[in-house]
Amino acid sequence: MTAESKAKKQRAALIAAAVLFIVSAVWCGYLLFRQSGRQVEIISDGRVLYTLDLDREADREITVEYEGRKNVIAIEDHDIFMKEAECPDHTCIKTGRLGSAGVPIVCLPNKLMIRFKAGTDSAENGGVDAAA
């Protein structure tokens, strides 16, 4: 094997390693910084029960019970809202759909909250942030 042949093999190996490194770096960057959708958390008494991506969720209802009382959460057309609640004031129902302002839906008597997951709220999804 000549010195010239050996140098060509080393150069080819170096180029292959560089290409592999660049592709790996780009893929890692994509995974870390990609848009994660509109993820919401349903929290009961401080505990996360569900983490949902509204952009991928099918229409459905979720029932959450707390001390014998029920809340029915609805997902329709990639939006989420409180459909029914066994609480005295129904403020959570009156709040309507979880909106781009990032204000959570809260049922205080039943210790239930629906909010955008940290880092995926409206400011990152084309909405208006609180400073605007």
| Tokens matching residue 129 | 């942030």
Residue whose tokens read 């000549």: 2
pLDDT tens, position by position, 88-113: 999 999 999 998 677 899 999 999 99
Across the beta sheet with 47-53, the strand order is 47-53, 39-44, 112-116, 105-107
pLDDT tens, position by position, 23-60: 888 877 666 655 456 899 999 999 999 999 998 999 99
Dist. CA 100–CA 114, nearest whole Å: 13
Dist. CA 25–CA 58, nearest whole Å: 34
Query: In the prediction, which pLDDT does 122 show?
Result: 45
Domain 39-125: give its CATH architecture: Sandwich (2.60)
CB neighbours of 50 closer than 8 A, spacing ≥ 6? Answer: 41, 42, 62
Res. 120: pLDDT tops 60: no
pTM: 0.63
